[in-house]
Amino acid sequence: MAILLESTLICPSCGATKGEKMPTNACQFFYECVGCKTLLKPKPGDCCVFCSYGTVPCPPIQEGGGDDCCRSEQ
């Protein structure tokens, strides 16, 4: 199965969307919304902003790495 590296982040505050390339060597814990400048953080239980607000989960989750795939790096 091919790993998708593009995801669209959707801001829960204003609904703004932005396509972003996901990092493959680190989890992204923060993202500033392009619309309202809200600082997005992962929801409880999610490892990164892509898993919380993206249309595609992060590469480690796609590869089947459990929900705590990035916890050791926090």
Instruction: List the chain pLDDT tens, one digit each, 74 residues.
Output: 789 999 999 999 999 999 999 988 778 999 999 999 999 999 998 989 999 999 999 988 888 866 556 654 43
So what's the pLDDT on residue 66? 64
d(CA 7, CA 20): 6
Considering the domain boundaries, does residue 73 fall inside one? no
Could you tell me if residue 26 is inside a domain?
Answer: yes
What pLDDT score was predicted for residue 74? 38
Q: Name the burial class of residue 74, with classes exposed (0-12), middle (13-18) and buried (19+) by CB atoms within 10 angstroms of its CB.
A: exposed
**Domain ranges, residue 54:** 6-64
Q: What is the pLDDT of residue 72?
A: 44
The per-residue pLDDT for 26 is 79
Number of domains in the chain: 1
Q: Which two tokens stand for residue 25?
A: 């060597």
